[in-house]
């Protein structure tokens, strides 16, 4: 380890880091990693770091080394680690009631749905737990809408998706992925989906048929490498969907909740989708909470028994989500993401580096693409980790930067210094 983030500047904010008590860990870092390797399925390739404590934008390993978290669990930590208001809500609710199932009502779900409806502008919400479940819920809603409202013949509904999409890991969802590894060995897949290139409205128009129920698309392809579509694309998509009576279903699981500088990333495009999925930061980084949101005409397709989830809408998740939404609003995190994101982009794009192909982003969702001839992005992430800064490559070439939106401004400046040094 060289600096481990232990500069004067980082120490300033680390003073507020609590919980760094002197209880010696039962295992060494190496042993913790060994246990995961021995007993855990090998479906991830984590950086060699064990996190034992965290607060705000900082995490700490069992030996006390501190790192600045510039990944935020893929944007599930927009509010930072262990935000006091969210933890307080979690603890208070844990002392009252945690799970009721939807067989009964609870006193948290209604207020949560009302708050999310008011913030998002959608009439109605179906709460789930993980992002993939919210997308699956949306797929079911769009199909049922196609049959019961649009009048598509039974069994014929189609959903159009974008190449290089990421919507989760269920068998249906990976079935319309264009990433070979996501599909390899997991077929056969659910029929009724077809892909068009992202950013190409003409291709979408050509793919629409009378059986098309929906176009499912991310406002920015985050996993795909922070791909921002050309200006005007989504306006044209909106027009096409309206003209052909096709639902525009935008997956805001990673881009929503302030990340890109707006409450929802679709606001940048000036379009209103017919329905969206939310997840990740909706649970404030402490509890899995996701949701499918739509207006009444679409959500009305569901009748009792059509769909469900044992934990979906549980009072613990609802209480946490209410606090998570309060924090985003009360702390003005979307505006903060916009302001800090502009600063980072300005510094990164001015820096001339022989290894960088492109820098792109919106708000605090930023991608640094490494030139192919230089090699993959992962060694840069490893070098940054040694300097006390955590980020992760997405696909082979792109370093994704997505810090908590309430990251200290000086800490973020320090992170950019380190990144510029590593990029040379
Ligand atoms: C993370 C993500 C999902 C899947 O969410 P999970 O909670 O991992 O199931 C879906 N769509 C997008 C855009 C995502 O970023």
Joined together, the tokens standing for residue 400 give 């994704």
Rounded distance from Cα 364 to ligand 1 centre (Å):
18
Residue carrying structure tokens 């997505």? 402
58: enclosing H helix or E strand: strand 58-60
List the one residue out of 296, 365, 334 whose CA is nearest residue 74.
365
According to the CATH classification, is domain 4-69+333-423 in 3.40.50.300? no
Rounded distance from Cα 62 to ligand 1 centre (Å):
29
For 155-219, list the strands marked E by DSSP.
158-162, 193-196, 212-217
Residue 223 Cα: closest atom of ligand 1:
15
Q: Which residues of the chain have pLDDT under 50?
A: 1-16, 20
Residue carrying structure tokens 């991830």? 44
pLDDT given at position 9: 42
User: In a 3-state reduction of DSSP, which class is residue 124?
Assistant: strand
Q: In what order do the strands lie in the sheet with 193-196?
A: 124-128, 290-294, 275-278, 247-251, 212-217, 158-162, 193-196
User: In a 3-state reduction of DSSP, which class is residue 163?
Assistant: coil
The preferred substitution site among 44, 132, 277, 292 for testing ligand 1, maximizing ligand atoms within 8 Å of CB, is 132
pLDDT given at position 24: 59
The preferred substitution site among 44, 77, 168 for testing ligand 1, maximizing ligand atoms within 8 Å of CB, is 168
- CB atoms under 10 Å from CB of 254, counted, come to 27
Residue 131 Cα: closest atom of ligand 1:
5
Residue 280 Cα: closest atom of ligand 1:
7
Rounded distance from Cα 168 to ligand 1 centre (Å):
5
Respond yes or no on whether the N-terminal peptide bond of residue 193 is cis (omega within 30° of 0). no
* First-residue to last-residue Cα distance in the chain: 19
Q: How far is CA 172 from the centre of its chain?
A: 19
Rounded distance from Cα 253 to ligand 1 centre (Å):
6
Strand 158-162 versus strand 193-196 pairing type: parallel
The preferred substitution site among 135, 138, 171, 394 for testing ligand 1, maximizing ligand atoms within 8 Å of CB, is 135
Residue 218 CB less than 6 A away from ligand 1: yes
Check: pTM over 0.85? Answer yes or no: yes
pLDDT given at position 161: 98
Joined together, the tokens standing for residue 65 give 């080394």
The preferred substitution site among 44, 77, 136, 254 for testing ligand 1, maximizing ligand atoms within 8 Å of CB, is 254
According to the CATH classification, is domain 84-330 in 3.40.640.10? yes
List the one residue out of 358, 394, 353 whose CA is nearest residue 377.
394
Active site residue 104: no
User: In a 3-state reduction of DSSP, which class is residue 378?
Assistant: helix
Rounded distance from Cα 188 to ligand 1 centre (Å):
22
Strand 290-294 versus strand 275-278 pairing type: antiparallel
Q: Which of 69, 164, 251, 274 is catalytic?
A: 251
Residue 135 CB less than 6 A away from ligand 1: yes
pLDDT given at position 23: 56
Residue 251 Cα: closest atom of ligand 1:
13
d(CA 230, CA 111): 38
Contact between 302 and 126 under an 8 Å Cβ cutoff? The reply is: yes
For 206-355, list the strands marked E by DSSP.
212-217, 247-251, 275-278, 290-294
**Where does residue 75 fall: left (phi above 0), alpha (psi -120 to 50 degrees), or beta otherwise?**
left
Residue 254 CB less than 6 A away from ligand 1: yes
Residue 166 CB less than 6 A away from ligand 1: yes
Q: How far is CA 8 from the centre of its chain?
A: 32
Residue 132 CB less than 6 A away from ligand 1: yes
Specify the domain boundaries for CATH 3.90.1150.10 within the chain: 4-69+333-423
User: For the CA atoms of the chain, what is the radius of gyration?
Assistant: 22
Cβ neighbors of 269 (< 8 A, separation 6 or more) are: 219, 233, 234, 235
Cα torsion through 382, 383, 389, 394, rounded to 10: -50
pLDDT in tens, 86-118: 999 999 999 999 999 999 999 999 999 999 999
Contact between 242 and 235 under an 8 Å Cβ cutoff? The reply is: no
Joined together, the tokens standing for residue 414 give 């320090």
Q: What angle do CA 311, 333, 52 make, to 5 degrees?
A: 60
Residue 130 CB less than 6 A away from ligand 1: yes
List the one residue out of 264, 278, 258 whose CA is nearest residue 131.
278
Specify the domain boundaries for CATH 3.40.640.10 within the chain: 84-330
Contact between 87 and 24 under an 8 Å Cβ cutoff? The reply is: no
């Amino acid at each position: 380890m060289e600096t481990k983030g232990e500069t004067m500047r980082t120490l300033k904010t680390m003073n507020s880091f609590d919980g760094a008590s002197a209880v010696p860990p039962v295992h060494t870092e190496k042993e913790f990693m060994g246990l995961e390797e021995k007993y855990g399925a090998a479906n991830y390739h984590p950086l060699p770091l064990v996190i034992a404590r965290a607060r705000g934008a900082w995490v700490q390993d069992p030996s006390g080394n501190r790192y600045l978290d510039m990944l935020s669990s893929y944007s599930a930590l927009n509010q930072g680690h262990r935000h006091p208001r969210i933890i307080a809500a979690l603890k208070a609710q844990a002392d009252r009631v945690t799970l009721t199932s939807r067989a009964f009502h609870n006193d948290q779900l209604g207020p949560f749905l009302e708050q999310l409806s008011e913030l998002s502008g959608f009439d109605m919400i179906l709460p789930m737990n993980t992002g993939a479940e919210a997308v699956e819920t949306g797929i079911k809603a769009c199909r049922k809408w196609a049959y019961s409202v649009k009048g598509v013949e039974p069994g014929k509904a189609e959903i159009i998706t974008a190449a290089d999409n990421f919507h989760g890991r269920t068998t249906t969802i990976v079935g319309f992925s264009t990433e070979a590894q996501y599909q390899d060995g997991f077929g056969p897949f659910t029929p009724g989906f077809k892909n068009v290139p992202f950013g190409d409205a003409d291709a979408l128009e050509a793919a629409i048929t009378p059986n098309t129920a929906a176009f499912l698309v991310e406002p920015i392809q985050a996993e795909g490498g922070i791909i921002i579509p050309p200006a005007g694309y989504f306006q044209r998509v909106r027009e096409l969907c309206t003209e052909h009576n096709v639902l525009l279903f935008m997956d805001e699981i990673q881009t929503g909740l302030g990340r890109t500088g707006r409450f929802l990333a679709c606001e940048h495009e000036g379009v209103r989708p017919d329905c969206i999925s939310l997840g990740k930061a909706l649970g404030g980084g402490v509890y899995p909470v996701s949701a499918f949101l739509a207006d009444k005409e679409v959500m009305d397709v569901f009748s009792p028994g059509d769909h469900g989830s044992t934990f979906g809408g549980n009072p613990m998740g609802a209480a946490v989500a209410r606090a998570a939404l309060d924090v985003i609003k009360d702390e003005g995190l979307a505006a903060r993401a916009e302001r800090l994101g502009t600063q980072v982009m300005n510094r990164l794009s001015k820096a001339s580096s022989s290894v960088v192909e492109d820098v792109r982003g919106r708000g605090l969702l930023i991608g640094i693409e490494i030139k192919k001839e230089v090699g993959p992005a992962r060694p840069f992430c490893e070098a940054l980790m040694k300097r006390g800064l955590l980020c992760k490559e997405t696909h082979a070439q792109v370093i994704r930067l997505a810090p908590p939106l309430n990251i200290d401004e000086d800490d973020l400046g320090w992170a950019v210094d380190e990144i510029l040094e590593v990029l040379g």
